[in-house]
Chain A
Amino acid sequence: MANNSSAPKTIESNHKVAMVLTNLLFIVICFLIAFPLLAGLLASFRPGRELVQNGLAINWDFSTMTLNNYKYLFGMLGSDSVIDSAKYFMWYKNSLILTISTVILTLLVCYFVSYGITMYPKFKLSGFLLFMVIATMCVPFEILMLPLYQEVTVLKLIDTRAGVILPGLCAASTIFFFHQYMQGLPRELLDAGRIDGCTEYGISVKIMMPICKPAFASMAILCAMGSWNNMLWPMLVFRSTNKFTLQIGLNTLLTPYGNNYDLLIAGSMFGIIPILLIYLLFQRYLIDGMTAGAVKG
């Protein structure tokens, strides 16, 4: 009798030890993950030249912290500050415009393309087109980068937003995600719409689009993240400084002399905010969207 009651107890206490250890592990990992950003955030309240001289480390000394970098960023510390602030917020504005237009255009185009591929069982080309969608995913963008750069130059799209947006408009992963999402939806809805006298295009907008709202939400976040943080292709296309995006602009501040690091560190931290806000508000949709391709393989 005594033996019987002690066995579940050891299992239970083992379970408790395992539970404490597992959660401790996740606490440590999350601390390590927060670490660089926390160090950067703390450093953004100290003079930028300290970054060059001392490197970056977590420093909790609040007495040496000031708001000067952020005041500088918002143009409140003299004429240099006003000029740099104007420059920074121009990049910020460029990034915002580019991101918003990329998200809207990409989602609309990809939605209609996958609607065409998915919603017409009698459409003979759909299998081939889907194969091509996957094929485009199998060629890394970096390989197409140089010929594409030449092509964009010839098409006179260099240094324009269209030159950045158009080549990525039919994003294969987005088309594929919409396709997977729509496959799970009943096609009878379309017939109901046809009986009511809707055109094919009317059905795709008025009936299907509202049903696909969750898919739009998750793709919008992923697309916004990609566009806001995109660097390589915009860096090739944009020539003039007044068209630079935030990422390209921040990169130009990274000089070996470190004369701009006040602006760089505060600007970097401030540059994470829009995407962090979107993420925290919509992270539920994001996780659904991100993992769509992984389950079916």
Chain B
Amino acid sequence: MSNFKKLLHSQKVAPFIFCLPFVLSLIIFWAYPLISGIVMSFQDITFSNRVWVGTAHYTKLLKDKFFITAVLNSVEYMLLTLVLLIPIPMLLAVLMESRLTKAKGLWKVIMYIPALTSVVISGMLFRMMFSEAAGSQMNQMLAFFGRAPIPWLKAKGTAWIGLLLLCMWRWTGVNMLYFLSGLKAIDGSIYESADIDGATPKQKFWYLTLPLIKPTTIYVVTISVYAGLSMFLESFMLWNGNSSPKNIGLTIVGYLYKRGIEKNDLGYACAVGMVLMVIALIINFIQLVATGTFKKEER
């Protein structure tokens, strides 16, 4: 018994004990569902039994026009959020770090607040601000310019303004904080020597700041790609449920939810999930190759 206790307390066994919960959780709640998701995507699953159908779900997906809409919407949303949520927060962070800005603490505190509100609450607020009633904020704005009220959330062009504004509202402050932490890690003396060499602020940004915060940029781009592709709740809340007019708000995860939870077609829904994973991994891989992350590791 004392031998056993000694072993348990030895430096060889202790790390295994410490890591045991992670290993268990990895097997039970990650590897198992992942593999079972892959298997299920080749099966037809009803309440009582499972039938192997091979790649039938995948060939059906290629012809499923709802699925194609969902993929296009998700990819479009992801690309637009990248365009909006990388350069703007980066510039704001640079401005925030500069000597020009006063009351930095106050701005930072306020800009993070939207991230504290749940999608339920923020989605509800945006839904009401973009409501088709004449008194809603957006229609009041139109009235200010002498235009008649429009049903904002019923056409893709105007509805996506709401969707993207909701996304920007929630994440601009968060991404700015990421970039700020990247900027803080830069050695200030580099800028001093650039000043001595007579570099303009624009040159300093292009040739010093941008390359030096690359690790942060890669990190923010990666999480934005994943978040953009797997967006669901924002559209779920903005259209009050999982169906939007002409499917303008249908995303990949929205379709997965619709088939898997609402229609109980688990096999088909898992195939949707697998396509999402492949798209996410491909985009992430392209992004990492393009930014030269792998090269850096080889060196």
Chain A positions near chain B (C-beta within 8 angstroms):
15, 18-19, 22-23, 25-26, 29-30, 32-34, 36-37, 39-40, 43, 51-58, 109, 112-113, 115-117, 119-120, 122-123, 125-126, 129, 132-133, 136, 138-151, 166-167, 169-170, 175, 199-201, 204, 225, 228-229, 231-232, 236, 247, 250-251, 254, 256, 264, 268, 271-272, 275-276, 279-280, 283, 286-287, 290-291, 293-297
Contact = CB atoms under 8 A, between A and B. Distances in A.
Contact of A297 (B28, B115, B122, B216): B216
Nearest to B119: A231
B226 A140 contact: yes
B126 interface: yes
A261 to B, nearest CB: 9
A204 B18 CA distance: 10
Contact of A33 (B100, B169, B215): B169
A122 B237 CA distance: 50
Q: Which 3 pairs show the lowest CB-CB distances between chains A and B?
A: A55-B136, A116-B18, A297-B215
Contacts of B110: 30, 33-34
A58 B230 contact: no
A57 B118 contact: no
B181 A36 contact: no
A148 B33 contact: yes
A144 B113 CA distance: 30
Nearest to A117: B19
Given A23-B103, A29-B111, A169-B25, A250 B120 contact: yes
A248 to B, nearest CB: 8
Given A231-B120, A232-B233, A276-B116, A144 B131 contact: no
Interface in B88-116: 92, 95-96, 98, 100-103, 106-116
B19 A283 contact: no
B173 A120 contact: no
Contact of A140 (B114, B182, B229): B229
A175 B133 CA distance: 48
A30 B277 CA distance: 36
A147 B113 contact: no
12 contacts: A29-B92, A33-B113, A36-B126, A36-B169, A55-B137, A115-B18, A132-B26, A136-B26, A141-B230, A231-B120, A232-B232, A254-B120
Given A33-B173, A139-B34, A251 B261 contact: no
Interface residues of B, number: 102
A109 to B, nearest CB: 5
B102 A23 contact: yes
B185 A36 contact: no
B interface majority secondary structure: helix
B150 interface: no
B115 to A, nearest CB: 8
Interface of B: 9-12, 14-19, 21-23, 25-26, 28-30, 32-34, 36-37, 40, 92, 95-96, 98, 100-103, 106-122, 124-126, 128-137, 139-140, 169, 172-174, 177-178, 180-182, 184-185, 214-216, 218-220, 226, 229-230, 232-233, 237, 240, 253, 256, 260-261, 266, 269-270, 273-274, 276-277, 280-281, 284
Contacts of A290: 174, 177-178, 181
B232 A295 contact: no
Given A39-B125, A146-B270, A151-B33, 18 more contacts: A19-B102, A22-B95, A33-B173, A37-B113, A54-B135, A57-B135, A138-B281, A140-B280, A142-B256, A143-B273, A147-B32, A147-B33, A147-B36, A200-B14, A229-B116, A236-B261, A295-B182, A295-B184
A200 B22 contact: no
Contacts of B129: 36, 39, 55-57
A140 B233 CA distance: 14
B266 A276 contact: no
A37 B111 CA distance: 12
Given A55-B135, A272-B116, A291 B21 contact: no
